[in-house]
Structure 1
Amino acid sequence: MTISESLMGDPNEREVIAPFYNTPDESDIVSQLARLLNGLFAVHEAQRMDRNFRGQTIAAVIFKGKLLGEAEALYPQITQRFQGAGFTPLMERRGKSDILLALQGTITAAQVNTRRWVHALLLFLTIITTTLSGAQFQNISLNAISREVQRGNLGYLWQAFVAGAPFAFTLLLILGVHEMGHYLAARRHGVAVTLPYFIPFPLIGILGTLGAVIFIKSPLTNRKALFDVGISGPLAGFIVALIAFVIGLFLTPSSRPNMAFVSLFGSERLGMPILLQVLGDVLRPDITNLARFVSRQPVALAAWFGMLLTVLNLLPIGQLDGGHVMYTLFGKVAWQIAMITFFAMIMLGLTVFPSLLFFALLAAMTGLRHPPPGNDITELNRTRKIIGYGTIVLFFLIGTLTPFSIGF
């Protein structure tokens, strides 16, 4: 949530408000912090404001004034000075004034288990589950695999893995590049981050995975860093998915129906995003039914799923990648956009695409409101804004309201 909506909101919502200079302690805190701002921030007004948080009183001081330079250059200096005094600064611009909140406590890197064997194990399990899912898309059922293995026919198991490998490799490449895009962007901005955690889906069905995640262990300091980390993953994954889809168009599909799709959805018909439909029409005009072709061609199918996952990540809600992008572009207005999107997902989930209810729940669990970075003053440059607006257009080009259709 934004500074103004948390500690500087409605006075009736403040749990503890302490006027300045009523006690020596208060005077010392305000004076000490004000001295630390010398040469960096011209203080016009100040207010001491404490708040109870989880049973503890947290000291907070709000300074209103003007930064004596560019926020991007000054914020690290203010942070360094304040952390030495045991405070964390948060900045935003309100009208012609700069607002600086000094919050008691310092933010340190989160302690997340980053043992490499955990990453390797999860990746190994995800390779197995996605490969078995890919085999099912090639009409090799789990029952058949189990039956043949019990008979001692391990060659059939190998055959299943070979059949499922193109789908699994393509999908995991898209997911891996997506997460590494986040990882590299975070490292570029000096943000502590884990390696990707792949998530195997024990109920092997559509994908065999719930995707992959990384954990950011230290705060993103400004909108530029937030934008770069948020957008790098979807764009990197999209590029790989796009290349994979084009390659898949020129590979031979299975001659048999994809019975895994038929059993789940009653048909092989996939909803085709505008961009993929145009690519199919231009590059392979001889394909009379692109949706059926994609459902039977494992590389193209994995690319299609990669596009779907990219769209879901780009939903403009809270901590999703799209939420990061929308906040950096529109600031606090992103909250209204997130609410509209969330309720639209609920309505579409109840009427058109039931699976959207599940994704709406996941989005809500991450939080619909996007928290601000420490420096919420520095704006995106022109290049980043163009990329951001272009990504909004991309969202509609690779998304579809009905990814799965029931019946022909």
Structure 2
Amino acid sequence: MTDDRRFTTSSALDIEAEGAPAATISAGPSAAAPPRPTPLRWKKNLALFALTVVSVFVAGTLWAPITPEDDSLLSLVKALPQAWPFAVPFLSILLAHEFGHYFAARAHGVEASLPYFIPLPVVSPLGTMGAVISMKGTIKSRNALLDIGASGPLAGLVVAIPVLLVGLARSEVHATSGPALQEGRSLLYLLLRWLAVGPIPESHDVFLGPTAMAGWAGLLITAFNLFPVGQLDGGHVAYALFGEKQDRYGRAAHLLMLALFLGNVAYFTPRFRAEGLPDALGAAIANGMPWLMWFGVVYVMLRVGGREHPPTEPGALSPARRAIAVVTLILFVLLLMPTPFGTY
């Protein structure tokens, strides 16, 4: 997720100077001095990343075969290194995603911060909400906007796909029995699973190991960020492709999140009732809850950052970048998981 909103100071002089014609000033040692770039701050970024590492390792205890000596906190801390098969590849996917944005922004001369990672222990089964990169000023051209918006998801997928394939190859196929928590299924995920595991017998399923879970989580966060709305990565890509029309398309994409939540409730409630679950409606709501939560998060983002995407200067995308934009939005469709986590 990136944020390329224009940042201006509260000084009237600075705001007026942005659009004022250059004045003729006699030469002097300070007249032509270029503005100093903002120094790159990293201490807060490093601290947040360290907390995120710990949080992701804690989350990894859910997915790795951890065997602590007892239920004490000390025993859990000693067992944390065993969570590396999930934590290390998942953190690698996050780093590739965020630094894809960062290096693309720097390549286009856009002043960007290092990633601010967001630890979310216990609450999130992944241990984090990802990261944010703040950018000062504006992204002037559509080409630059496309490069910065698409670079993160594409870089993350370059790591996530091989991680998932390796993890799936090491996962086991077992017979299923009774209700279970199932990972979301997207078209791309099903294709990769078929390539890694082959046909799965009826009444059997792949029980994801920790590395496969990390790769799958990489697909999930990429799908969330590629939603073409607001200043999510997909919003940047879509605005670079469609221009101001994207503000209207983005509102429809936002409502799609709510529709996915309602669709889960409408689909699973009668199914769970037929299966005799005591709280069919509650279970159906739980299956759709990730979409309701993401709808709320994006709603807050739009309220704070504005419902309309910051404009770029006139000019169309280059043919190569137009193709990249189309491919990136197709990837969003291939990555979309109607039920990110579900009880079946």
List per-residue Cα deviations over 1:235-288 (Å, max 9, x = no partner): 11111111111111222459899xxxx9xxx62322221122122223321654
For residues 169 and 289 of structure 1, the distance between their equivalents in structure 2, rounded to whole angstroms, comes to 33
For residues 256 and 148 of structure 1, the distance between their equivalents in structure 2, rounded to whole angstroms, comes to 34
Q: In structure 1, the residue corresponding to 2:240 is in which secondary structure? A: helix
For residues 291 and 193 of structure 1, the distance between their equivalents in structure 2, rounded to whole angstroms, comes to 48
For residues 109 and 277 of structure 1, the distance between their equivalents in structure 2, rounded to whole angstroms, comes to 50
Give the TM-score of the pair, scaled to structure 1: 0.65
User: Are the counterparts in 2 of residues 314 and 395 from structure 1 also a CA contact under 8 Å?
Assistant: yes
Give the TM-score of the pair, scaled to structure 2: 0.76
For residues 291 and 321 of structure 1, the distance between their equivalents in structure 2, rounded to whole angstroms, comes to 36
Task: Give the structure 2 partner of residue 157 of structure 1.
Answer: 77
Task: Give the structure 1 partner of residue 329 of structure 2.
Answer: 392
- Asked which structure has the greater CA Rg, the reply is 1
Q: In structure 1, the residue corresponding to 2:92 is in which secondary structure? A: helix
Compared CA separation, residues 332 and 296, structure 1 to 2 (3 A): same
User: Are the counterparts in 1 of residues 104 and 151 from structure 2 also a CA contact under 8 Å?
Assistant: yes
For residues 310 and 80 of structure 2, the distance between their equivalents in structure 1, rounded to whole angstroms, comes to 44
User: Are the counterparts in 2 of residues 109 and 192 from structure 1 also a CA contact under 8 Å?
Assistant: no
Alignment of 1:4-403 (within 5 A): 82=20, 84=22, 115-138=41-64, 140=66, 147-149=71-73, 154=75, 157-158=77-78, 160-253=79-172, 267-285=180-198, 287-288=200-201, 292-293=205-206, 295-352=207-264, 353-367=288-302, 368-373=307-312, 375=313, 377-403=314-340
For residues 82 and 203 of structure 2, the distance between their equivalents in structure 1, rounded to whole angstroms, comes to 21
User: Are the counterparts in 1 of residues 228 and 238 from structure 2 also a CA contact under 8 Å?
Assistant: yes
Higher relative contact order (CA 8 A, sep 6+): 2
> CA shift at 1:138, angstroms?
2.9
For residues 137 and 283 of structure 1, the distance between their equivalents in structure 2, rounded to whole angstroms, comes to 20
Q: In structure 1, the residue corresponding to 2:182 is in which secondary structure? A: coil
> CA shift at 1:157, angstroms?
3.4
For residues 145 and 386 of structure 1, the distance between their equivalents in structure 2, rounded to whole angstroms, comes to 54
User: Are the counterparts in 2 of residues 245 and 299 from structure 1 also a CA contact under 8 Å?
Assistant: yes
User: Are the counterparts in 2 of residues 132 and 204 from structure 1 also a CA contact under 8 Å?
Assistant: no
List per-residue Cα deviations over 1:155-212 (Å, max 9, x = no partner): x633x22321111111111111001000000000001011111111033541111111
- Which runs of no fewer than 5 residues in structure 1 stay unpaired? 1-53, 61-78, 86-107
Q: In structure 1, the residue corresponding to 2:341 is in which secondary structure? A: coil
User: Are the counterparts in 1 of residues 182 and 342 from structure 2 also a CA contact under 8 Å?
Assistant: yes
For residues 81 and 182 of structure 1, the distance between their equivalents in structure 2, rounded to whole angstroms, comes to 28
> CA shift at 1:391, angstroms?
1.2
Q: In structure 1, the residue corresponding to 2:134 is in which secondary structure? A: coil
Task: Give the structure 2 partner of residue 40 of structure 1.
Answer: none
For residues 157 and 256 of structure 1, the distance between their equivalents in structure 2, rounded to whole angstroms, comes to 33
Compared CA separation, residues 188 and 225, structure 1 to 2 (3 A): same
- The alignment's C-alpha RMSD in Å is 3.3
- What percentage of residue pairs aligned between the two structures are identical? 33
User: Are the counterparts in 1 of residues 94 and 156 from structure 2 also a CA contact under 8 Å?
Assistant: yes
Task: Give the structure 1 partner of residue 29 of structure 2.
Answer: none
User: Are the counterparts in 2 of residues 270 and 292 from structure 1 also a CA contact under 8 Å?
Assistant: no
User: Are the counterparts in 2 of residues 176 and 212 from structure 1 also a CA contact under 8 Å?
Assistant: no
For residues 138 and 292 of structure 2, the distance between their equivalents in structure 1, rounded to whole angstroms, comes to 30
User: Are the counterparts in 2 of residues 318 and 370 from structure 1 also a CA contact under 8 Å?
Assistant: yes
Q: In structure 2, the residue corresponding to 1:194 is in which secondary structure? A: coil
> CA shift at 1:127, angstroms?
1.1
Q: Which amino acid aligns with 1:351?
A: G
Q: Which amino acid aligns with 1:198?
A: F
> CA shift at 1:384, angstroms?
0.4
Deviates most, 300-309 or 204-213 = 204-213
List per-residue Cα deviations over 1:143-163 (Å, max 9, x = no partner): x6773455xxx5x633x2232
Q: In structure 1, the residue corresponding to 2:342 is in which secondary structure? A: coil
Compared CA separation, residues 80 and 342, structure 1 to 2 (3 A): closer
Q: Which amino acid aligns with 2:77?
A: L
For residues 330 and 109 of structure 1, the distance between their equivalents in structure 2, rounded to whole angstroms, comes to 35
User: Are the counterparts in 1 of residues 41 and 113 from structure 2 also a CA contact under 8 Å?
Assistant: no
List per-residue Cα deviations over 1:97-116 (Å, max 9, x = no partner): xxxxxxxxxxx9998x9632
Number of aligned positions between the proteins = 295
User: Are the counterparts in 1 of residues 227 and 234 from structure 2 also a CA contact under 8 Å?
Assistant: yes
User: Are the counterparts in 2 of residues 271 and 400 from structure 1 also a CA contact under 8 Å?
Assistant: yes
User: Are the counterparts in 2 of residues 268 and 291 from structure 1 also a CA contact under 8 Å?
Assistant: no
